[in-house]
Amino acid sequence: MASLKIFRLLPVVDETDPRWNNAENQGEVVVRAHSAADARIVAAAAEGDFLDIKAAPADGNSTRTFSAFRDDKLYTVVEDTKATYRSDGDRAVLSGHIRPVILSTRQRDTAT
């Protein structure tokens, strides 16, 4: 098995930024993955999906592509070279608590 790399996914915008209206801020997450792009996929896969809970928005449509981890305006990905985590092993989330959020349910007060 080839060694993978360790990546940190870090939120890059403030909690009040309207881009969080459609996605939950999961905080910093550390993953073992092949690349920065793969790190986004590993983190997104740890979230829930409508298909996993039998509540699909339409037959056969996944919500994994809507994860905040896949949005470069919400999360940046940096390689962690500190050797805090071992690079050998499976692709996985190593640190951080990923809630099984599919799409944000946060409501903003839009009254004027």
pLDDT, tens digit (0-9, with 9 covering 90-100), for 51-85: 444 554 555 555 555 688 988 999 999 999 998 89
Give pTM, 2 decimals.
0.76
> Among 54, 23, 56, which Cα is nearest to 40's?
23
CB 13 within 8 A of CB 73: yes
| End-to-end Cα separation, the chain, in angstroms | 57
Within the chain, strands assigned E span 5-11, 29-33, 75-79, 92-95
- Residue 26 reports pLDDT greater than 60: yes
Q: What is the pLDDT of residue 109?
A: 43
- Residue 27 reports pLDDT greater than 50: yes
